[in-house]
Structure 1
Amino acid sequence: MNKPYRYFLMVAHTGSIKGAADKLNISQPSLTAAIKKLEADVGVPIFIRKSKGVELTEYGRLFREYVQEQQEKHLSLMHRFTDMQQRQLGKLKIGTGEAWWEQFVCHSVKEYKLIEPACSLHLEFGNNLSLMHHLVQGDIDLFVGHEVTGLHERCKVTFHPLFQDKEAIFVRKDHPLLTKKKLGMGDQLKSQEQYPLLRVTPEHSRHNSVLSDHVNSQEDSMESQLVGRDVYDVDSLFASIDMLKMTDAVMPYSQKMCAWMKEREIETLLVNEERLGNVGIYTKQGIDDQKIQRFVQILQKSI
């Protein structure tokens, strides 16, 4: 960030030329001259001089917003430069859902580190749409998740299938619905509707840009069906388990986690055979990177 802007922000923060000069480790006359030159450059007064310091003018407050935006952009650019350098040196950026981390991604990372002990790693946890957004933007190199149907045509990605997964419904032990496990699937699903729904790492509307308009309208329709029902949206698997234990909520999640949940005193109410999805690895199209290909191969072997 350029020096005049840095000086300006310090004076605005401290409300004192002398105090800002001390923090910046420069002389007070030098800082005063720099501020006067900045005011001359922008063409309006940005500070009001008072007996006990300075205050921002209306111009100054507007200018501070602009400078803070420039500071954020500068820091973001520096971060991206650093990230590019680290990637050139072998850094791998991996996205995953918490379930897949617990099931096999953690083990794959461990194996990858044995092969590439000097590599840097970045791990991004999130739901499918957020990870897809990060992949398309180039923030991560690959991610593990369910296959996304109805992707927007701008999403130039490749899906490498690993296995199929069914949706299970989890509840706390002693949940009232556990007494109805002998009911048919349809009756069990109907019985759940009177209990709160707990959604682990739910999708956020800010990431819907990766979906086609048609799929977005379907999502809106599904949300409208939940009107009047208590819904707990939790962005953490472990916090979701805590929420299950303190409420009568029902939680849809991967069937692969049944044994893992059992160890944490969470019961499997049912497995919905009709809710079937593909789990795999997403990478960007046309990316020929050996470290990405190597990690994909490790993931495929780990299944």
Structure 2
Amino acid sequence: MDKSSRYFYEVARQGSIKGASEKLFISQPTLTTAIKKLEENLDVILFHRKSKGVELTSSGWLYYRYVQDLFEKHSQMMHQLTDMKARSQGKIKLGIGEAWWECFASEVIKQFVEQHPNNSMYIEFGNGLSMLNQLLNGDIDLFIGHEIENIDPRHRVLFMPLFIEQEAWFVREGHPLLSNDLTSNELDNYPLIKVTPDHIRHTKILNDEGMEAFNLKQQKTGVVYELNSLKASIDMLKTSDAIMPYTDQVKEKMAELGIVTLPQGSEKSGSVGIYTKTEQVSESIQYLVSLLKGK
């Protein structure tokens, strides 16, 4: 970024030439001259001069947003460069769903850290589509989650299956459905809890068939609670008559928390595995993958 833009940005943030000059370690006359020259080059007035400080004009606000965007992009680029250096030195960035962390991944990570004490790690929690987006953007190296159907073939990713899981329905203790023969119609009479649901902004990685399926799922009628936290979802479950569809792999942990599994299970099942962007990954990631496969 050029010097005049940096000077302008600091004056706008401080609201005064004096404050900005102290931050920039330059004299007030030098800074005043630089701002005037910038205004001449742009052929606009950027600041209203007042007895105590300055205020941005409408043109100044427009230019401020432009410069601010440049600063943010520069900061992002520097962060990415730093991150690339850290990853070249062994840092691993892992994405995972909360259920799989609870079920097995925390123990695997513990084992990995014991064997690789000098490796830094970054762990991001979220759902499949958001994690896949981060993988494709290079923000994470791999993630553990359900196999995602209808990924646009332009996005080349590798999926390594680990196991098949079944969906279960969870409710609070004393829920009315526990005393009845369960039917699909009865389920529709109760609120539905969605744990870390997919968001429309992440569906750009799907093909047309995937988008259509996503849109159909959003058309469910009735009360729906969407929470981006498993713990918050459990709290909501305990204080309402809601039903929470979730993996049956956590039945025992749910029982310890006072959450009951409905006797009639869901028919939904899915493959859980590891996604990477390519087959060529670092030795440390290969080792982590081998631990996950042997869990």
| TM-score category (smaller protein) | over 0.9
What's the secondary structure of 1:174's corresponding residue?
coil
Which residues of structure 1 form unaligned runs of 5+?
none
**Is contact 1:255–1:271 with CA below 8 Å preserved after alignment?**
no
The answer on 1:265 being equivalent to 2:258 is yes
> For residues 229-240 of structure 1, what are the structure 2 equivalents within 5 Å?
229-240=222-233
Whether the aligned pair in 2 keeps the contact of 1:166 and 1:271 (CA below 8 Å) is: no
Q: Is the 8 A contact 2:169 2:266 kept in 1?
A: no
Secondary structure at 2:218 match in 1:
helix
**Residues 1:64 and 2:64 aligned together:** yes
1:272 aligns to what SS in structure 2? coil
Contact 1:170 1:270 survives alignment (8 Å):
no
The residue that corresponds to 1:128 in the other structure is: 128
C-alpha RMSD of matched pairs (Å): 1.5
2:145 match: secondary structure? strand
Q: 2:242 aligns with which of 237, 244, 249?
A: 249
Match of 1:285 in 2: 278
1:299 and 2:276 correspond? no
Instruction: Provide structure 2 residue ranges, at least 5 long, that are not aligned to the other structure.
Output: none
After TM superposition, list the pairs within 5 Å mapping 1:191-230 onto structure 2: 191-224=186-219, 226-227=220-221, 229-230=222-223
Which amino acid in the other structure matches residue 112 of structure 1?
F
Question: Structure 1: how far apart are the matches of 2:224 and 2:266?
Answer: 23
Residues 86 and 271 of structure 1, relative CA distance in 2, 3 Å threshold: farther
Aligned to 2:17: 17
SS at match of 1:274: coil
Q: How does 1:10-49 map to 2 (within 5 A)?
A: 10-49=10-49
Determine if the alignment matches structure 1 residue 149 to structure 2 residue 149.
yes
Question: Bigger CA drift: 50-59 or 193-202?
Answer: 50-59
Tell me how far 1:273 sits from its aligned partner: 5.2
- State the Cα deviation string for residues 81-138 of structure 1 (Å, max 9, x = none): 0100000100001010000001111111111111110001010110000001111111
SS in 2 for 1:62: helix
Q: Give 1:167's aligned residue.
A: 167
Paired residue type of 1:278: S
Q: Is the 8 A contact 1:145 1:280 kept in 2?
A: yes
Amino acid at match of 2:247: S
The Cα shift of 1:52 comes to 2.7
CA distance in 1, matches of 2:259, 2:207: 36
CA distance in 2, matches of 1:201, 1:143: 15
CA distance in 2, matches of 1:268, 1:232: 19
**How many percent of aligned residue pairs carry the same amino acid?**
48
Deviation at 1:7, TM superposition (A): 2.4
Asked if the contact 2:96–2:126 (Cα under 8 Å) also holds between the matched residues in 1, the reply is: yes
Shift of 1:280: 0.6
Find the aligned partners of 1:27 and 1:147 in 2 and give their Cα distance: 60
Residues 195-234 of structure 1 deviation map (CA, whole Å, 9 limit, x = unaligned): 100000000000001111111112212221x13x110000
1:9-50: CA deviation from partner (whole Å, max 9, x where unpaired):
221123221222234343212221221232233332211222
Distance apart, 1:55 and its partner CA = 1.9
SS in 1 for 2:169: strand
- Distance in 2, Cα, partners of 1:252 & 1:127: 14
By how many angstroms is 1:2 displaced?
A: 4.7
Q: Deviations over 1:162-193 (max 9, x none)?
A: 1100000111111111112xx2xxx4332111
Aligned to 2:111, what secondary structure does the other structure show? helix
Residues paired across the two proteins, number: 295
Of 27-36 and 92-101, the range deviating more from structure 2: 27-36
Q: Which amino acid aligns with 1:124?
A: E
